[in-house]
Amino acid sequence: MTTISQVPATRVSPPPWVAVAAAGIATHAFNHVSTVVQDVWRLIESPAAAGFNPGTIYHPISAVLYLWLAAMVYQGRNWGRVVITIQLAGQFVGRYFIWMAYPALEVRADLATGWALSTVVLFLLWAPGSSRRYFRRR
């Protein structure tokens, strides 16, 4: 006789929209890693001109957080969907302050791209019925 605890859990593949959203979250992680690499390169290239800013702490930590949340979202953890929503909403607001502080075209292009990516990721996690059902199944 088998009990419920002995029955192996079946793995459900995420719907395509959730998989794309998880890839978008991982893209955010990659962007944060590239920012860390740029900061380190500036430090090596010109130590006197390199500075310390909040991004020096934020980017490496958030890169790891984004990768972990991408995995949790892909696995269908609803709390992961909620946490990434809060993280992206906070980052969405934070980009405004960077936008105002750095008027350079390439910075603003990066920020606009980040806003667009965050918007698409949030839409894919919350709007399609298949996404909502996937996160409700747990």
What does pTM read for this prediction?
A: 0.83
Local structure of residue 118 (DSSP, 8 states): H
Q: Would you list the domain boundaries of the chain?
A: 16-136
CA distances from 80 to 25, 51, 83, 88, 103 (A): 11, 33, 5, 12, 33
Q: How far apart are CA 37 and CA 41, in angstroms?
A: 6
Q: Tens-digit pLDDT profile for the chain (138 aa)?
A: 555 555 555 678 999 999 999 999 999 999 999 988 988 888 888 888 777 778 888 889 999 999 999 999 999 999 999 999 999 999 999 999 999 999 999 999 999 999 999 999 999 999 999 999 999 986
Q: Concatenate the DSSP letters of all residues of 59-73 into one string.
A: HHHHHHHHHHHHHHH
- pLDDT at position 89 is 94
pLDDT at 72: 97
The total of other beta-carbon atoms located within 10 Å of residue 30's CB is 12
Report pLDDT for 6: 58
